[in-house]
Structure 1
Amino acid sequence: MSEKKQPSVLEGFKAFLTRGNVVDLAVAVVIGTAFTNVVNSVVKGIINPMVGAFGTKNLDNYSSCLKGPCTGTGDTATGVRIMWGSVLGSTLTFLITAAVVYFLMVLPMSKYLARVAARQKAKEGAQEVVELSELEVLKEIRDALVSQRGAGHSEALVSQRGAGHSEALVAQRDSEHKER
């Protein structure tokens, strides 16, 4: 009996790290982080100033006082505030991120995969047509050969179809050669 050597912890860790899906996940996290920075910049640089046309430039400044008196900002604030501007800013960031991911990544990829599937289906359909047409040609050749041999021979061939069909063809061919 031979004992199988168990891989060491370091070998297992190395195999885990070099697996393709771990590397892909790491790349996705890095790209996602960079993308988050871009979206945050769009919200702060474009969306917030548009909202600022009606009030303040920073959505975080929008709040409502739940229990007064609400005075001051930051650490010196008093009262209980609902910071609905922060929620609105985060919601806008999420919606922009989701829209960009959908329209620039998900939608093009699904269209690409649909085209690939359609091409594959068309290729399989064409292959079936070729196979069927070859079968039809072989049937026509068989029917032409049967019709050339005459009525008596074709009736014998038709009655002998099935398991012994090829044996009947060989026997008939031999008998025709003997008659000549």
Structure 2
Amino acid sequence: MIKEFKEFISKGNIMDLAVGIIIGSAFTAIVNSVVKDILTPLLGLLIGGINFGGLSVKLGDAVITYGNFIQNIIVFFLTAIAVFFMMKGINSIRSFGKKKTEDTIAKAPTTKICPFCMSEINMKATRCPHCTSVLEDKEEI
């Protein structure tokens, strides 16, 4: 049983999951800080420092604190905005190197000129379809 447990723990999926949870926790702290320390104060400036947290209605013995609900909706949207812009930045950094590679691949020549009739032909052609001349394997453009 101990051997099976060691195999289970040492599998890549468990380690990947553990790393994902740790990184997720750190990312959550960053997002929460962006929302709490940057976006919420800026929103407070825009709406004149209104705090919805204190709004409530008393119905008999029950107190409905709808202000907390409004405040949590605002925090949710600010968090979503923060995550969106963070992921947009991360994705642009990730795709920076790929875009350069794709551009290089896209610019690679696919045709060459037949040295006999000067027609444009496929790079892999071994015989010109226009003049039927036999082309050498290492023909350059």
TM-score (norm 1): 0.47
**Candidates 86, 95, 102, aligned match of 1:100:** 86
The amino acid across from 2:134 in the alignment is K
Any gaps of 5 or more consecutive residues in structure 2? 112-121, 137-141
Any gaps of 5 or more consecutive residues in structure 1? 1-8, 70-76, 142-180
CA shift, 1:85, in A, is 0.8
Question: In structure 2, do the counterparts of structure 1 residues 123 and 93 end up closer, same or farther at CA, with 3 Å as the change threshold?
Answer: same
Show CA shifts across 1:16-54 (max 9, x none): 544444433332221121011011112211222223331
> Retained in 2: the 8 A contact 1:60–1:89?
no
Q: What is the DSSP-based 3-state SS (H/G/I as helix, E as strand, rest coil) of the residue aligned with 1:68?
A: strand
Structure with more strand by fraction: 2
The 5-angstrom pairing of residues 78-97 of structure 1 reads 79-82=63-66, 83-97=69-83
**Candidates 116, 125, 129, aligned match of 2:101:** 116
Q: What is the DSSP-based 3-state SS (H/G/I as helix, E as strand, rest coil) of the residue aligned with 1:55?
A: coil
CA shift, 1:11, in A, is 5.1
The amino acid across from 1:81 in the alignment is T
1:139 matched to 2:123:
no
* Number of residue pairs matched by the alignment: 118
Aligned to 2:58: 68
TM-score (norm 2): 0.57
Question: In structure 2, do the counterparts of structure 1 residues 140 and 49 end up closer, same or farther at CA, with 3 Å as the change threshold?
Answer: closer
Structure with more helix by fraction: 1
> Retained in 1: the 8 A contact 2:54–2:65?
no
Of all paired residues, the percent bearing the same amino acid is 23
Task: Give me the CA root mean square deviation.
Answer: 3.7
